[in-house]
């Protein structure tokens, strides 16, 4: 008799425990299961992540298994709806990055991180990534409710932090890159740590009568396109200038989310500009040869003889910009142009602005003038142009005249070691967004990403001049 009573009590108490547990399908609460994320739970209950965090007073995206979350009461999740697996698997290969995989699979980097629970951008060869996620049959739509009146539009200021970019700021504040440019009169994507940006909230809709629609503007004709294959030493800025485009236009044309490009990558460019720049010149009686001297580069020789770098490569069957002293180059129809003409840079107190005026000037070993720079000569010229008097020393000399910084600002120096000799061997100017401007042996004055494998391998430190 006692055993029967105990068994009955056990059954009743167990049932009571299960009855007390909130059910995810009751539309009021959800018990976190293994594999759940705020994004997945919010999607299930037709909420935004912000609404779910606000409802549960969450200050971060971290949740734990068996945690009970309050959800909206308007949606009922149908337990019988079968799951549909739309995900596929991708195995990381050598040379891959999250941005490159996202571009290839036509998704965003944020989605890749969400689907694979990644907290950073680091991936490794052989790693398996999930492209897509499990989705379920859509529940019945929420009843339509009257929207609350919007507050009047406001203007707020944002101070740029290290690692920021226009696209990142736009995404975080629910606006577009074009709007930020327009509100701040920006002509490009370059921003600096500590810079203040205006972020205007969107105008609320008014109940007044809509204005008559303006007459549609005629659609401009779509320009003819050609394909350009990236060569060693290329950068987006260099290719954009060569084909008469801005960096933004070149990125939009190729749906790029980053300025990182790869050798042999194919990019869409304007066909007209490409033909004018690389059209072969027929042989003439004025054909000549030129013997490479110390300090020469293809860009310097091209300017000297009124031809293009592409012409020189084509005429001499070169696959890169590398040339050697004593090498003989064919010049078809070229003629010496006398001293190289350069535009005098405008004085400025901003180091990055001063450096940006020198883009494209060729690399010359030991150079510290507008005829050509090496890495330390470039630092000397830029800082003096910006009103900061510096002696002309080597990269090691500037390393000894500066102190370490953990959070670099635009205008700080970035040092590298072991590029062509032991110890400190190269220096550039940090411009924000993990990029630097420097005088490179292949390409002259250019902008490079510190995320590339070469610069990561040789990185030494960020420093600031005393």
**Pairwise CA distance, residues 453 & 327, whole Å:** 31
Mean pLDDT over the full length of the chain? 75
CATH of 288-331, one of 3.40.50.300, 3.10.350.10, 3.30.470.10, 3.40.190.10: 3.10.350.10
Asked whether the predicted pLDDT for residue 249 surpasses 90, the reply is: no
Asked whether the predicted pLDDT for residue 262 surpasses 50, the reply is: yes
In this structure, are residues 113 and 129 in contact, taking their beta carbons and an 8 Å threshold?
no
Fold equal for 225-278 and 351-465: no
Record: fold of 225-278: Membrane-bound Lytic Murein Transglycosylase D; Chain A (3.10.350)
Confidence (pLDDT) at 272: 59
Asked whether the predicted pLDDT for residue 135 surpasses 80, the reply is: no
Residue that the structure tokens 């606006």 belong to: 175
Q: What are 278-302's pLDDT values in tens digits?
A: 333 333 434 677 888 877 777 778 7
Percentage of the residues of the chain whose pLDDT score is greater than 70: 72
Asked whether the predicted pLDDT for residue 307 surpasses 80, the reply is: no
Asked whether the predicted pLDDT for residue 140 surpasses 70, the reply is: no
User: What confidence category does residue 114 fall into, taking pLDDT thresholds of 50, 70 and 90?
Assistant: confident
Place domain 351-465 in its CATH homologous superfamily: endopeptidase domain like (from Nostoc punctiforme) (3.90.1720.10)
Confidence (pLDDT) at 7: 46
**Pairwise CA distance, residues 430 & 412, whole Å:** 5
Annotate 30-55 with b (16+ C-beta within 10 A) or e (fewer): bebeeebbbbbbbbbbbbebeebbee
Enter the CATH code of domain 155-200: 3.10.350.10
Mean pLDDT of 344-370: 79
Asked whether the predicted pLDDT for residue 413 surpasses 90, the reply is: yes
Name the residue with higher pLDDT: 122 or 147.
122
CATH architecture for residues 83-136: Roll (3.10)
Q: What are 56-88's pLDDT values in tens digits?
A: 888 888 888 888 888 865 444 444 444 444 578
The burial of 324, by beta-carbon neighbours within 10 Å (0-12 exposed, 13-18 middle, 19 or more buried), is given as: exposed
Mean pLDDT of 351-368: 87
Asked whether the predicted pLDDT for residue 210 surpasses 60, the reply is: no
The burial of 249, by beta-carbon neighbours within 10 Å (0-12 exposed, 13-18 middle, 19 or more buried), is given as: middle
> What positions carry a catalytic annotation?
375, 426, 438
Q: Which of 60-64, 229-233, 243-247, 294-298 has the highest mean pLDDT?
A: 60-64
Q: What are 163-194's pLDDT values in tens digits?
A: 788 878 887 887 888 888 888 888 777 787 78
Asked whether the predicted pLDDT for residue 14 surpasses 50, the reply is: no
Asked whether the predicted pLDDT for residue 261 surpasses 80, the reply is: no
Crossing angle between the packed helical segments 166-173 and 177-184, to the nearest 10 degrees = 100
Asked whether the predicted pLDDT for residue 11 surpasses 70, the reply is: no
Domain boundaries, the chain: 83-136, 155-200, 225-278, 288-331, 351-465
Q: What is the DSSP letter of 440?
A: E
Asked whether the predicted pLDDT for residue 42 surpasses 70, the reply is: yes
Mean pLDDT of 220-241: 73
Name the residue with higher pLDDT: 72 or 268.
268
In this structure, are residues 429 and 365 in contact, taking their beta carbons and an 8 Å threshold?
no
Name the residue with higher pLDDT: 198 or 237.
198
Asked whether the predicted pLDDT for residue 309 surpasses 70, the reply is: yes
Q: Which of 28-37, 92-101, 181-190, 447-456 has the highest mean pLDDT?
A: 447-456
Alpha carbons within 13 angstroms on the beta-carbon side of residue 219 total 3
Asked whether the predicted pLDDT for residue 455 surpasses 90, the reply is: yes
């Amino acid at each position: 008799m006692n055993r029967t009573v105990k068994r009955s009590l056990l059954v009743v108490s167990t049932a009571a425990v299960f009855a007390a547990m909130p059910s995810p399908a009751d539309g009021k609460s959800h018990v976190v299961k293994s594999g759940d994320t705020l994004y997945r739970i919010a999607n299930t209950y037709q909420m935004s992540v912000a609404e779910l965090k606000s409802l549960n007073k969450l200050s971060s995206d971290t949740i734990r298994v068996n945690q009970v979350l309050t959800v909206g009461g308007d949606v009922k999740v149908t337990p019988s709806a079968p799951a549909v697996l739309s995900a596929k698997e991708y195995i990381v290969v050598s040379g891959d990055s999250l941005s490159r995989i996202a571009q290839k699979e036509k998704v965003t980097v944020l989605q890749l991180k969400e689907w694979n629970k990644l907290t950073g951008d680091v991936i490794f060869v052989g790693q398996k990534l999930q492209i897509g996620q499990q989705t379920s049959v859509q529940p019945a739509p929420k009843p339509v409710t009257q929207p609350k009146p919007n507050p009047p539009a406001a203007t707020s200021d944002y101070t740029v932090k290290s690692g920021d970019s226009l696209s990142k700021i736009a995404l975080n504040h629910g606006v577009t890159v074009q709007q930020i440019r327009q509100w701040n009169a920006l002509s490009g994507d370059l921003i600096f740590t500590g810079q203040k940006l205006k972020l205007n909230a969107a105008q609320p809709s008014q109940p007044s009568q809509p204005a008559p629609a303006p007459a549609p503007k005629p659609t401009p004709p779509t320009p003819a396109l050609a394909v350009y294959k990236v060569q060693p030493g290329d950068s987006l800025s260099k290719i954009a200038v060569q084909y008469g485009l801005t960096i933004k236009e070149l990125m939009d044309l190729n749906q790029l989310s980053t300025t990182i490009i790869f050798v042999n990558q194919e990019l869409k460019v304007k066909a007209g500009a490409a033909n004018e720049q690389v059209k072969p010149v027929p042989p003439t009686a004025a054909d000549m040869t030129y013997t490479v001297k110390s300090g020469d580069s293809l860009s310097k020789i091209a300017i000297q003889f009124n031809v293009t770098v592409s012409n020189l490569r084509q005429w001499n069957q070169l696959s890169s910009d590398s040339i050697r002293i004593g090498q003989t180059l064919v010049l078809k129809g070229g003629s010496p142009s006398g001293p190289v003409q350069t535009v005098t840079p405008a004085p400025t107190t901003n180091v990055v602005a001063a450096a940006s005026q020198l883009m494209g000037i060729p690399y010359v070993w030991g150079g510290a003038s507008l005829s050509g720079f090496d890495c330390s000569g470039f630092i000397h010229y830029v800082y003096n142009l910006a009103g900061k008097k510096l002696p002309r020393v080597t990269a090691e000399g500037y390393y000894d005249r500066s102190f370490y910084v953990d959070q670099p600002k635009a205008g700080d120096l970035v040092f590298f070691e072991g590029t062509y000799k032991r110890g400190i061997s190269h220096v550039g100017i940090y411009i924000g967004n993990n990029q630097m401007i420097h005088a490179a042996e292949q390409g002259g004055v250019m902008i490079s990403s510190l995320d590339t494998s070469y610069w990561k391998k040789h990185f030494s430190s960020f420093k600031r001049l005393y």
